Amino acid sequence: MSAAQGPALAAQSVAPVYTLRAYAPEQIPAVLELARANLGNAGAVRKSEAFWRWKHHANPFGASLGVGAWTPDEQLIGLRILLRWRLVHPQGGELAAVRAVDTATHAGYRRMGIFSALTRRMLADLPGQGVRLIFNTPNAQSLPGYLKLGWQVAARWPLYLHPLRPWRMIRRAAGRDAPQPDAAVGLGRVQTWARFWEEYGDQAAALVAASEQGRTPCGWRTPRTLDYLTWRYGSHPSIQYGVHVLVDDRDPGRLRGFALLRPNVRQGWQELVLADLFLAEWEDRQAQRLLHGLHRAVEADYLIAHFAEASRERAWLRRLGYWRVPKRRLAFSVMPLQEITPPPADARSWDLSLGDLELF
């Protein structure tokens, strides 16, 4: 497929000629070269082959879909990758979806319509793959481009913060007492996934199933299975997620709940993302034990979280003094490919945590 005419660089009068091809694993070396040059290769999401294969090929929802723009001399100049996802609804609905994640255009070919051409090709191909919805959390720079292509902003999700060490936060804001570069130090006494699995792996599946059955569902949600959690939080090649456990008062070997945490350093502070939580019994006392214990166990400056407004998790955060972060929200955009009920463009149709929304 040849590219249509598009805006040219000042030194050119016509758009480049290229063909669009479906992404395939044998393209990984070229894909990584373009991704590293355009998306960066530092921090927790370093574009290693292990990371790429984990994210796009080991995903329990299926291998990612994508399309690339290739010049006649076999140079990859544009890339659009969609991460397969699945969503379920308490009313019984199920959605095959994708997340718009990795997009890159070669520096010498920007503003020539390549992003739009790649996206339109994907939109044309996705219904044949059974995909009914695209969603993502675009930043301020990319959101206008998505809106031009038909995306809708379903919500701007608020974030909720609980300071753990306010005086240290003040010192660090003044440039004193800088955090260590290794973000994982904020985990404190929290377990690694490997240690959690060693101690409680035989109980985890039953607890997750009981937790999902017992909570109050309130919209489209990623199904929490042990396969998904192991992939998402236990197998990431670069990020060390932590697990804070709640055990039985009288039987310390009996798992009663756990919280999943991602350490980070943001603006000179040690941030700890509360990605998700699970309880064997959805009682206020158990939730308070889990969260109070978490607050005491970690070494971070603050915890940050998001749960649906109608969820019991959000009510617990409110009771424990989490406050809404001013002037900071996550844009959440959707592109339905067919009619869906409840409508995904309505914020009230969603039941998401930060583990669903964070980039990884």
CB atoms within 10 A of CB 190: 25
Pull the structure tokens for residue 360: 């990884």
What pLDDT is stored for residue 16 in this prediction? Answer: 80
What pLDDT is stored for residue 355 in this prediction? Answer: 96
Q: With contact defined as beta carbons under 8 Å apart, do 352 and 221 qualify?
A: yes
d(CA 252, CA 238): 31
End-to-end CA distance of the chain: 32
d(CA 229, CA 130): 24
What pLDDT is stored for residue 47 in this prediction? Answer: 85
What pLDDT is stored for residue 33 in this prediction? Answer: 95
What pLDDT is stored for residue 11 in this prediction? Answer: 37
**Taking the domain 158-329, which CATH number applies?**
3.40.630.30
| E strand or H helix at 348 | none
Q: With contact defined as beta carbons under 8 Å apart, do 105 and 115 qualify?
A: yes
d(CA 346, CA 265): 32
Identify the CATH assignment for 19-131 out of 3.40.50.300, 3.40.640.10, 3.30.70.870, 3.40.630.30: 3.40.630.30
Pull the structure tokens for residue 184: 């994982």
* Tens digits of residue pLDDT in 231-283: 999 999 989 999 999 999 899 899 999 999 999 988 889 999 999 999 999 99
Contacts of 354 (CB under 8 A, 6+ apart): 159, 273, 274, 275, 276, 304, 305, 306
Domain with CATH 3.40.630.30 in the chain: 19-131, 158-329
d(CA 278, CA 264): 22
Phi, psi of 35 (to 5 degrees): -65, -45
What pLDDT is stored for residue 251 in this prediction? Answer: 93
SS3 assignment for 251-265: CCCCEEEEEEEEEEE
Q: With contact defined as beta carbons under 8 Å apart, do 301 and 268 qualify?
A: no
pTM exceeds 0.85 for this model: yes
What pLDDT is stored for residue 179 in this prediction? Answer: 77
Contacts of 89 (CB under 8 A, 6+ apart): 95, 217, 219, 220, 221, 342
- pLDDT below 70 — which residues of the chain? 1-15, 42-45, 181-185
The CA angle 302-274-178, to the nearest 5 degrees, is 30
* Tens digits of residue pLDDT in 4-18: 434 433 334 466 899
SS3 assignment for 214-227: HCCCCCEECCCCHH
What pLDDT is stored for residue 348 in this prediction? Answer: 96
Q: With contact defined as beta carbons under 8 Å apart, do 121 and 129 qualify?
A: no
Cross-strand pairs, 100 = 82
What pLDDT is stored for residue 5 in this prediction? Answer: 39
DSSP H stretches of helix in the chain: 28-39, 49-57, 114-125, 143-148, 166-173, 193-214, 226-229, 284-297, 312-319, 354-357
Q: With contact defined as beta carbons under 8 Å apart, do 98 and 81 qualify?
A: no
